[in-house]
Amino acid sequence: MLDIQRKIMVAVDGSAVSDKAVHEAVWLAGSQRRDSKNELIAVFVKTDRMRDYDDLFVRGVPTGGIDDRWEKIIENAFFVVRKLAAEKDIALETIVVEGEPASTIVGLAHFHDVDLLVIGSTGKGAVKRAFLGSVSAEVIEHAGCGVYVARA
């Protein structure tokens, strides 16, 4: 195995697809000798559409003030990556930023000089992607580093 330290970024949103990407990112980050640890960065992009997160909760987004609701959404989004990174003794940095997901993820990867970007994809297909857009497709097209796509 190569002894190269890598900086890996994973995009999280609390969905099952995101959790799959997290599992892959943690596995990749842990695939190194103990004396040469990879860095793992998890990023959550907060959009201006809170209702986009409704389907991630059994009964919708928690009630309460806007700040309380965002805090719960973000806590849920980072839950799996925090748990798995701790279990594997992988240093984890978490970042929350506001913006449009694809361009924000690409910008953060560039800013942090990331070697590999891990992102989930639902695999909706070309027709749905043409109408709905695809964060993973945009990230693949514009990222200046390697992109690992975890398919749902």
Give residue limits of the domains in the chain. Answer: 7-151
Which amino acid appears at position 12 of this protein?
V
Task: State pTM to two decimals.
Answer: 0.84
Can you tell me the mean pLDDT for 103-130? 81
Contact 97, 9 (CB under 8 A): no
Residue 51 pLDDT level (bands cut at 50, 70, 90): low
**Cα–Cα dist 65/62, whole Å:** 9
Residue 34 pLDDT level (bands cut at 50, 70, 90): low
**Cα–Cα dist 126/132, whole Å:** 10
CATH architecture classification, 7-151: 3-Layer(aba) Sandwich (3.40)
Average pLDDT, the chain: 82
Q: Is 148 helix (H, G, I), strand (E, B) or coil?
A: strand
Residue 8 has pLDDT above 50, yes or no: yes
Closest CA to 108 of 122, 90, 95: 95
Taking only the tens place, the pLDDT of each residue in 75-91 is 989 999 999 999 999 99
